[in-house]
Structure 1
Amino acid sequence: MTLPEQAPGSREHYHREHQARAMAEARRLLAAREAVGGRWLDWVAAELYTQGPPHYVAMVRRALQRLSKQPG
């Protein structure tokens, strides 16, 4: 039996389906920080603007925040 929050089309289902992709995108953005330099935040904003649905962009943004807070 599938729980309603796990059903296709639910937010939880979407999150599970796209979490790895969102983390990979956040890592890509973070890796470009040194190369982009002082305009990195503007560049990230522009990159996120092109990404897709707002809930996916929010996932990438949260992943980027988590990765940015990790030491080293």
Structure 2
Amino acid sequence: MKQTGYAIKTDADFDNAVWLGQHLELWQRGELVHEGGVPSTNTPLWVKINGSAFFKSAYEFRVKEEGAASF
């Protein structure tokens, strides 16, 4: 399992996040922009989190830190 704060980059990383039920956060330019959630679908271009599709090219996805404050 990946460490908290770990940046998810490869298709294998996204597949593992789906299979392991890891909570992913969405970041842009070093700032948290969306709390994210547990991904349900991974495609080459986007990942589905909580029913919404997020393009991989638009965000940096990181494993959520345990005990981190929510929005």
TM-score with structure 2 setting the length: 0.28
More helix by proportion, 1 or 2?
1
Kindly indicate which of the two structures has a greater share of residues assigned to strand.
2
Structure showing greater radius of gyration is: 1
**TM-score, normalization by structure 1:** 0.28
